Amino acid sequence: MIRQFFLQNESRLHWAAWGLTALFHSLLLVFLIRFWLLPAAQEIPIQTLHVGFFTTDTPHINQKGPVTSPLGSPTPQALSPPKKILTAAESQKTIRTESTKNVSVTVPGETVGASVVSSISPVYPKAALNQEMTGTVIVRVYLDEQGMLLKTVLRESSGHEILDNAFIRAIVNMYRFSPAKNQGTLVEGTLDLSYTFSLNP
């Protein structure tokens, strides 16, 4: 009877046995993963890779003190010449031309006033010579940042218009100027110039 049962249900029993085998292997695989592979993976230490950059031992240019040469001997450094300290008398300059007195005096320190670079004395007007006209003329000149003449203003007359105009014409045509400076920057400036017309040599 039992044999007959097996013979009749051989195919079903075969599939049932195959299913139990597959279930057993699945349970075995889950057991191995859960209790053996996962703990082993958690115990593996993670190593950190450190990347280093190697540089050559080159001395810095801006380092303080003497620079050491590759042979180990210090390289001598050039000594800068000591700065000359100007006295108050040296820092003040008054440029004078023949028969012309520069009334303006430069201020010592960082501010430098405008000055005369070159000049030619005015021509004594023939009519003034014939009439023996004399006198001192004072004219203020206004200069731009390049030392170019902007305008002239008569500050003090000689008493004779012909002499005043002769000096102003000489300033316009025969004078060259250096501009004023304020802390190293070229600026506009003024300058008072005087000239004495005299019959005495």
Write out the chain's pLDDT in tens, 201 residues.
666 666 666 777 777 787 888 888 888 888 888 777 666 656 555 555 554 544 445 444 454 555 454 455 455 555 555 555 555 444 444 333 344 445 444 444 568 999 999 999 999 999 999 999 999 999 999 999 999 999 999 999 999 999 999 999 999 999 999 999 998 899 999 999 999 999 986
Predicted pLDDT at 97 = 35
Q: Which 3 state secondary structure label does DSSP give 137?
A: strand
Three-state SS for 128?
helix
- Which pLDDT value is given to residue 69? 47
If residue 167 lies in a helix (H) or strand (E), which one and from where to where? helix 161-174
Helix H or strand E segment including 116: strand 115-118
Tell me, yes or no, if the pTM score tops 0.75. Answer: no
Provide the pLDDT for residue 180.
94
| Cα–Cα distance, 21 to 7 (Å, whole number) | 21
CB 113, CB 104: distance < 8 Å? yes
Which CATH architecture group holds 88-197? 2-Layer Sandwich (3.30)
**In contact, 166 and 173? CB cutoff 8 Å:** no
pLDDT at 139: 97
Judge contact between 52 and 46, C-beta under 8 A.
Answer: no
